[in-house]
Amino acid sequence: MTLEILYYLFVYVRILKRDDFASLYQRVRRQPARAKAWNAETVRRVSASVDNVCMLLPVPASCLLRSAVLTVVLRRSGVPAELVLGATRLPFKSHAWVELNGEVINDKPYVHDMYATWDRI
């Protein structure tokens, strides 16, 4: 799984360096959840693996990068995860996180109170 995470990190970092949000958006949107049995342990294991690999990067991983990779790897593991994009108005700040059945899995559970959701992928 570590190699898969590294692969997606590498690809998505290159996409974001080109300021090509539309390409990242489409890649995440097109990744369906594979029909597999999954459980909470799968979600915990994948989430922890993404966090651990991101810590090895020479620069901090943005919330968008981390959440996009987590969403895709979870979907490839059979978990129907959603990448959620949100923002605040004043001051403007954007944020990304991952949800599963309406539950936040890679951020604070009250992130909904801090950011207005503008899209779910």
Q: CB pairs under 8 A, 24+ apart, for 7-14?
A: 8/68, 8/69, 8/72, 8/73, 9/53, 9/54, 9/57, 9/61, 9/65, 9/69, 12/65, 12/68, 12/69, 13/65
- pLDDT tens-digit map of 73-102: 999 999 999 999 999 988 999 999 999 999
- pLDDT tens-digit map of 21-60: 999 999 999 999 877 788 899 999 999 999 999 999 888 8
What pLDDT shows up at residue 35?
76
Question: Domain limits of the chain?
Answer: 2-120
Look up the pTM and report it. Answer: 0.94
